[in-house]
Amino acid sequence: MGNNLVRSNKKNKLFDLAIIGGGINGAGIALDAALRGLSVVLLEKDDFGSHTTSASTKLIHGGLRYLEYFDFGLVRESLRERERLLRNAPHLAWPLKLNVPVYRHSKRGPVLIKAGMILYDILSYDKSLPSHNFYRVGNNGHRLPLDSGINKQGLRAVASYYDCQIGYPERLCIEVVLSAQREGALTLNYHEVLSVSDHTDRKTLLIHDKIHNSRLEISARMVVNAGGIFVDEVNKRIDNSIPRKMGGTKGSHILIRKFDHGPKNAYYVEAVQDGRPFFVIPWRDYYLIGTTDIYYDGDLDHITASEEEVDYLLTELHHLFPSWSVTKKDIVYTYSGVRPLPYEPGKKESQITRNHIILDHGKFEGPDNLISIIGGKLTTYRSLAEECVDLVCRKLGCSTKCLTQSYTLIGGKGFVSYTTDLDNQVREYARRFTLSEKVVKHLILYYGSRFKEILALTEKNPELKQTVCKNNSDILAQVVYAIQAEQAKTLEDILLRRTSIGTSFCMGLDCVQNIAPLASEYLDWNEEQMMQAIENYIEYIYINHKNHLKN
Give, in order, the Cα–Cα distances in Å from 14 to each of 215, 294, 433. Answer: 18, 42, 46
**What's the confidence (pLDDT) of residue 402?**
98
Q: How would DSSP label each residue in 287-332? A: EEEE---EE--S-TTS----HHHHHHHHHHHHHHSTT----GGGEE
Residue 76 pairs with which residues in a beta bridge? none
Is the pLDDT reported for residue 24 higher than 60? yes
Average pLDDT over residues 491-497: 99
At residue 139 the predicted structure's pLDDT band, cuts being 50, 70 and 90, is low
**How far is CA 296 from its chain centroid?**
19
Average pLDDT over residues 425-441: 96
User: Exposed, middle or buried: residue 188 (CB in 10 Å: 0-12, 13-18, 19+)?
Assistant: buried
Give yes or no for a contact between 52 and 70, defined as CB atoms under 8 angstroms apart.
no
Nearest to 211 by CA among 535, 524, 511: 524
**What's the confidence (pLDDT) of residue 461?**
97
Handedness of CA 351, 357, 361, 362 (dihedral sign): negative
Q: Where are the domains of the chain?
A: 3-52+170-246+351-396, 62-167+248-348, 420-549
**What's the confidence (pLDDT) of residue 140?**
56
pLDDT tens figures, 42-59: 999 999 999 999 999 999
Is the pLDDT reported for residue 3 higher than 50? no
pLDDT tens figures, 140-164: 556 788 998 999 999 999 999 999 9
Q: Is 198 helix (H, G, I), strand (E, B) or coil?
A: strand
**What's the confidence (pLDDT) of residue 152?**
94
Q: How far apart are CA 101 and CA 321, in angstroms?
A: 12
Is the pLDDT reported for residue 420 higher than 70? no
Query: What is the third-level CATH fold of 62-167+248-348?
Result: D-Amino Acid Oxidase; Chain A, domain 2 (3.30.9)
**What's the confidence (pLDDT) of residue 540?**
96
Q: What is the DSSP pairing of strand 186-189 with strand 191-198?
A: unpaired
Angle (CA) 97-100-105 rounded to 5° is: 170
Domain 62-167+248-348 matches domain 420-549 at the CATH topology level? no
Q: How far apart are CA 248 and CA 396, in angstroms?
A: 31
CATH architecture of the domain covering 420-549: Orthogonal Bundle (1.10)
**What average pLDDT does the chain have?**
94
Average pLDDT over residues 447-465: 97
Q: How far apart are CA 507 and CA 502, in angstroms?
A: 4
Angle (CA) 121-126-127 rounded to 5° is: 65
Nearest to 226 by CA among 246, 253, 206: 246
Query: What is the third-level CATH fold of 3-52+170-246+351-396?
Result: FAD/NAD(P)-binding domain (3.50.50)
Q: What's the predicted TM-score (pTM) here? A: 0.96
Average pLDDT over residues 340-361: 91
At residue 467 the predicted structure's pLDDT band, cuts being 50, 70 and 90, is very high
**What's the confidence (pLDDT) of residue 415?**
83
62, HSE (Cβ side, Cα atoms, 13 Å)? 31
**What's the confidence (pLDDT) of residue 6?**
54
Is the pLDDT reported for residue 2 higher than 50? no
**What's the confidence (pLDDT) of residue 1?**
46
383, HSE (Cβ side, Cα atoms, 13 Å)? 22
Least confident of 33-42, 318-327, 413-422: 413-422
